[in-house]
Amino acid sequence: MKRTLVTLLLLIATVALYAADKPSFPGGDQALNKYLAENLHYPKQAQDNGIEGNVPIQFIVKADGTISSIKVTRMIDPDLEAEAIRLVREMPKWIPADNNGAPVDATANVVISFRLPE
């Protein structure tokens, strides 16, 4: 009986986890790309050294739309990573994930691309 109850509770928790809509940037992906393009400052040292790359960032969008727990998920270059973290930290509030009509904390991911002009 205990085993069945534990299994049932885990199943309910798993379903609740996947029932939530994902958090989103206000205005959608197009607005996110515009924000990144307008606010990205390519670090001079990285430019001078010809360093390019994609910096994947993971963070929590809280139920109130604020961002917390920002972390780089793949290291590339310290200067690019610092700039990517700054961009995410200074983003406007996101639209939080939704679970049965209630805003909830959820993980979000963005990839910040650094490309040198050709």
Does 78 fall in a domain? yes
pTM here?
0.80
Would you say residue 4 lies in a domain?
A: no
Question: Taking the C-alpha atoms of 51, 56, 60 and 63 in order, what is their torsion angle to the nearest 10 degrees?
Answer: 100
Asked if the structure places residue 65 within a domain, the reply is: yes
Residue 6 belongs to some domain of the structure: no
Q: Which residue stretches of 63-118 are H helix? A: 78-89
Q: What is the pLDDT of residues 22-46, one digit of tens each?
A: 999 999 999 999 999 999 999 999 9
Is residue 14 in some structural domain? Answer: no
Tens digits of residue pLDDT in 2-15: 443 333 333 344 44
Q: How many separate domains does the chain show? A: 1
Q: How many CB atoms lie within 10 A of CB 96?
A: 23
Rg (CA), the chain: 18
Backbone angles phi and psi of 63, in degrees to 5? -60, -25
Which residue segment(s) compose the domain that 103 sits in?
21-114
The domain that contains 80 carries what CATH number? 3.30.2420.10
Mean pLDDT of the residues in the chain: 86
